[in-house]
Amino acid sequence: MQQYAMHVITAASGTIVREYASPDDRVFAITWRGPTPPDLRTLLGEYFTPYLNASASTVQARAGAHRQLSVAQPDLVVQAAGHARAFRGRAFVPSLIPTGVLIDALP
């Protein structure tokens, strides 16, 4: 039994987004890389506002580092990095990861 399905979306910019869905069709992780960041509001869905709340205070405290950001909360992890024309990142919901799936080993 396959543990998850991977769907790939290529944006007009060339940015590639991968969504990882569990057998019950819930997306538990997304990754992206490409010349521009993806539409995080759409991709994160209900998690976008918690992400913003967590990141807004962080960026003010990290004036010297706009090339990466990490948000790690019990039910949401967002890791974004890169510079103009080369962005990359991932987001996942730990509680939605199917049993037996290693988040760091996703292809």
Partner 1 sequence: MLRGHRCAIWLAALILAACGGGGGSADSSNSGVDGASAGSLYAAGGANVVAITVGPGPGGSSTFNIPYTSVTICGTGTSSCATIDHVLVDTGSTGLRLMASVLAGIALTPQADPSNSANVIAECLPFADGYAWGVVANAAVSIGGESASDVPIHVIDDNGSFAPPVPASCSTYGASLNSVSAFGANGVLGIGLFSQDCGTYCAQSNGNSDWYYSCTSTRCTAAIEALDSQVTNPVALLANDNNGVIIQLPALSASGATTASGYLVFGIGTESNNGLGSATVLTVNPETGDFTTIYGGHTLNGGFIDSGSNSLFFTDATIPDCPSSVGAEFYCPAATLDLTASDQGQNGNTSTVSFQIANLSVRNTANFALDDVGGTASTIAWLGTDYFDWGVPFFYGRTVYTAIEGKAAGSATGPYFAF
Binding site for partner 1 (CB under 8 A): 5, 7-10, 12-14, 16, 18-19, 21, 25-31, 33, 35-37, 39-48, 51-52, 55-56, 58-60, 62-70, 79-93, 96, 103-107
Task: Report the nearest approach of partner 1 to the CB of residue 28 (Å).
Answer: 7
CB-based contacts of 51: which residues, under 8 Å, 6+ apart? Answer: 40, 44, 71, 76, 78, 91
| Least distance to partner 1, CB of residue 99, Å | 17
Q: How far is the CB of 100 from partner 1 (least distance, A)?
A: 16
- The backbone torsions φ and ψ at residue 66, rounded to the nearest 5 degrees and listed phi first, read -100, 15
Provide the minimum distance between the beta carbon of 87 and partner 1 in the complex, in angstroms, as a whole number. Answer: 6
Q: Which is nearer to partner 1, 74 or 107 (CB)?
A: 107
* For partner 1, the closer CB: 1 or 12: 12
| CB of 73 closer than 8 Å to CB of 50 | yes
By beta-carbon proximity to partner 1, the closer residue of 1 and 56 is: 56
Helix (H) or strand (E) holding 16: strand 16-21
The DSSP H or E segment spanning 6 is strand 5-10
The angle subtended at Cα 96 by Cα 92 and Cα 88, nearest 5°, is 15
